[in-house]
Amino acid sequence: MPIEETIWDIVVPNDVDAQHHDLINVLAELITKRLPAGKKLLTVVGWSANGGCLFQSKPGVRRYAVSYWAQSA
């Protein structure tokens, strides 16, 4: 059964085009690296730049809150 979760602070380099499909692939890679053993990423559902104004970007990077579906193994 899929579980919807959110990671609130994913850092993405500025060289990734936020308007291009590469962003979703980069977010998926970064989430996969942060998931604990026994969880599998199913899909990225949505994202919000700067976590909906919860935090500010740092020089050279953008920060996102990312919602995704995962499944326990």
Give per-residue pLDDT as tens, 12-28: 888 877 666 688 999 99
Per the structure, the complete domain to which residue 12 belongs is given by 3-72
Model pLDDT, residue 14: 81
Q: pLDDT confidence of 67, banded at 50, 70, 90?
A: very high
Two tokens at 48?
């919000």
pTM: 0.83
Q: What count of Cα atoms within 13 Å lies in the side-chain half-sphere of residue 12? A: 27
The total of structural domains in the chain comes to: 1
Model pLDDT, residue 33: 95
Model pLDDT, residue 49: 85
**Residues 6+ positions from 22 with CB-CB distance below 8 Å:** 16
Model pLDDT, residue 19: 65
